[in-house]
Copies of this chain bind each other. A is one copy, B any other.
Amino acid sequence: MKLVTVFSVFLFPLILAEDYTFDIQHVQVPLDHFSYTGSRTFSLKYLVNDTFYLKGGPIFFYTGNEGDIEMFAQNSGFLFDIAPRFKALIVFAEHRYYGESVPFGNLSYTSPEYLGYLSSSQALADFVYLINELQKTYAPTNNVNKTPVVAFGGSYGGMLAAWLKMKYPNSVVGAIASSAPIWMFKDENPCEEFYGIVTSSFKELGGENCVNTIKKSWAVIRFLKPLPANPVKEFCSKINAPEYSDNISLLKAVGEALQIYTNYTGTTKCNDILKTADKLGDSGWGFQNYDWNFEEYSNGCFQQYGVRPRNEDVPILLYGGKDLSTANNIVFSNGRLDPWSGYGVLRNYTSDIIAIVISDGAHHSDLRVSNPNDPESVKNARQIHVNQITKWFNEYYFKH
């Protein structure tokens, strides 16, 4: 325990502020959980809030994603909203290689030798390791049962929460996986799904004009060379941030992302579209015709990081692809306005794998702090989360 810090959560654009207090903690975790070439460990940061915790209560465990853990703690007020009723300890675990949890300090990103331990497999094992430590520290009074843990995560963090439950089913009793595009890998969904949802969201929110305006920007897709090395990646990195509390900010983010295409060359004019109008025609969205090319992607990775992804099948082999029949106790929630929902689980899979489609929801809106102005669909989603978590605890205590 180092310090007590106070974060002010200003939910943009809502004027709603709450102060949450965290202990900053660290745990030494193995750099490499799956091999034994060395015994190096590093310090993984996590935040703990015990305001609502009572001995014997569960642990709410946020599986941190690609950024400083404080950012996710600030934007996941839902955990604080529901912790009192469960007497839960709240923990936000930082993802390795982000924030302060960099295994090799400033060298961490300099070469594959250092960066190579950044993988979802290793990150999940960090979380399992930390959860085991927490279960010892926050053991129930009777010393018989383990403290049950619920995983929470949004976006990539939601993928991790779901995978944690799938790959280490005994580490957590259940997972709330918000806006988790776990089916975005090879052949799982058409690549254009993302852009289809962008289109319909823009149509709905901004009208046909807006759509047409944006449509023009796609013309540049015909000329891939003037774009940055990884246009899709850069596009996604802008649109994948966890800041879209509402439709307006979603729109802003997508707009900003699109600048990669519209402003990068500085030469694209609206009427450039005329040049390729015959080709575009009704087919419209140029990006829908952008073929996913693993080799190109692999080359891009190698140029930027000195590392290649090994095989396009790997994520599916690791995480089982679209067959969730052996998983249980996961809620997949997706905002219908969120383009990432195109790769999410949108239908109940079994009685234990629940899907919520939030009609007025953006990227993991349900994990944010509640607000009287929230759409009904978001409120309903949160209620389902509470119901499922209650069910998981009941099952757990019945069995143990």
Contact = CB atoms under 8 A, between A and B. Distances in A.
Interface string A319-342: 011010111100000000000000
Interface stretch (A29-37, A83-91, A272-280): A29-37
Contact of A122 (B34, B116, B119): B34
Contact of A320 (B117, B169, B307, B327): B169
B317 A171 contact: yes
B113 A37 contact: yes
A118 interface: yes
B34 A320 contact: no
A128 interface: yes
Query: Chain A interface residue count: which class?
Result: 35 or more
- Tell me what chain A mostly uses at the interface: helix, strand, loop, or mixed: loop
A129 interface: yes
A170 B313 CA distance: 13
Given A317-B128, A327-B326, A117 B35 contact: yes
30 contacts: A32-B34, A32-B35, A33-B34, A33-B121, A34-B35, A34-B121, A34-B122, A35-B35, A35-B122, A36-B115, A36-B118, A36-B119, A36-B307, A37-B112, A37-B113, A37-B116, A38-B112, A38-B116, A39-B310, A132-B313, A132-B317, A167-B167, A168-B320, A169-B323, A169-B325, A170-B323, A171-B317, A325-B399, A326-B326, A326-B327
The 5 A-B residue pairs with the shortest CB-CB distance in the complex, in nearest-first order: A37-B116, A169-B326, A36-B116, A170-B320, A34-B121
Given A35-B122, A168-B320, A325-B399, 7 more contacts: A32-B34, A35-B35, A36-B117, A128-B317, A132-B317, A326-B327, A326-B328
